[in-house]
Structures are given as structure tokens and as C-alpha cells.
Structure 1
Amino acid sequence: MDHPQTPRILAPHLSSFQHKHVRILGKVLQLRGETAVLDAGGNVDMVLNRDCHLAVGHAVEVIGKVDGNLQLRVQAATDLGTSIDYAAANAVVEATHRHKEIFYD
């Protein structure tokens, strides 16, 4: 089975990935019913699915699709707790964009 590519991105990359599936890691800032705000090098508005169980202040890795309004429609979310090295995680994202031919089409 073919899985869609999910390039790792940060908030500043959202506009380059409209209508594409992505992977993003950040800190949950707010939960508001069906939506949440993630800090991933800037704020990312997310539209949650029923399976999302997020906690404010926790790191989360999200796979989702960027919509036309630059919101992330969450398909899967993994809580990574509270002890994440965001600088290292962001450095990985930047490296994947510098050498994107290795990581995605």
C-alpha cells in the first residue's frame, strides 16, 4: 500500500504545502472544542478529529492536511509529553527542507 509523503514542516512552511499532507511537531498552546493552536515555529491552527486527545503544554506530532485557509486538518496526533528539545526537532525540519530531494518529492 502506498502511503502519502508527509514532509516535516513548521508554521512558516504552511503556505508552501496547501492541500498536501504534512507532519508537524509543536507544543499545544490552546484547546477550543474542535480546534487547537499549536506552537511550531509560529502558531498553527488545527481542526481536530474525534481521536485527538491533546493536553495544553504537551508536545505533539501531528499528521494532517493543510487546507486552503492554512489550517491543519488533523488525521493523527501523538502526544510526546513535556520534555522535548524543540530546537533539535526544528533543526531536523530545516535540514529536510535544505536537502528535500532526499526526504520528499
Structure 2
Amino acid sequence: MDHPQTPRILAPHLQQFQYRLVRMLGKVTQLRGETAVIDAGGSVEIVLNRDCHLQLNHAVEIIGKVDGNLHVKVQAASDFGTGIDFEAANAVVEATHRHKEIFYDD
């Protein structure tokens, strides 16, 4: 079965992944009804779906599409709780971009 690629990105990568499906790990810093803000190497506004149940200060992994305003429209979200080492997780993301030929098609 062919699954769509979901490259792991951080806030600084949003521009180069406009209109593409991506995966992001971040800390929920704001909840605002239909939207939220996560810190994923910088602030990222995410547009929630009705299945999203985010909690402030929890880590969340989202899969979603980057829109024209560099917001991410969430298709799936997983709560990872509070024990995440973001520095290590972000280093992994950076490594995937340094060696992207291994991880995703450009």
C-alpha cells in the first residue's frame, strides 16, 4: 500500500512545504477554539479538525497540509504528553533535511 509521504518539519521549513502534507511535533502554547499555536522550532498556527483534543503545554504530533498562509490544517493529531525532549526531536528533524534523499522525495 502506498502511503503519502509526510516529511517531518519545523516552523522554519513551512515555506518550502507549502501545499504539502507534513508531520510536525510541537508543544501546544495556545488554544483558540478552531485554531491553536504550537511551538515547533518556532510558532506555528494550526487549524484544528473536530477530532483534535489538544491540551495546553502537551506535546502533540500533527499530520496536516501547509496552506498558503503557512498555517497547518490538521488531518490527524496525537497527544504525546509532557515528557518529550524537543531538543532531541528537533535534531532528528534537522537530520532528515540534511539527508532528505533517504526520507522523502523533494
Unpaired segments ≥5 residues, structure 2: none
Paired residue secondary structure (1:75)? strand
Q: C-alpha displacement at 1:40, in angstroms?
A: 0.4
Amino acid at match of 2:87: A
User: Is 2:10 the counterpart of 1:10?
Assistant: yes
Q: Structure 1: how far apart are the matches of 2:21 and 2:3?
A: 10
Q: How many residue pairs were aligned? A: 105
TM-score (norm 1): 0.99
Unpaired segments ≥5 residues, structure 1: none
User: Is 2:15 the counterpart of 1:19?
Assistant: no
Deviation per CA, 1:50-76: give whole Å up to 9, x if none: 000000000000000000110000000
Paired residue secondary structure (1:52)? coil
Which residue is equivalent to 1:42?
42
Amino acid at match of 1:29: T
Q: Structure 2: how far apart are the matches of 1:100 and 1:81?
A: 28
RMSD over aligned Cα, in angstroms? 0.5
Identity %, equivalent residues:
78
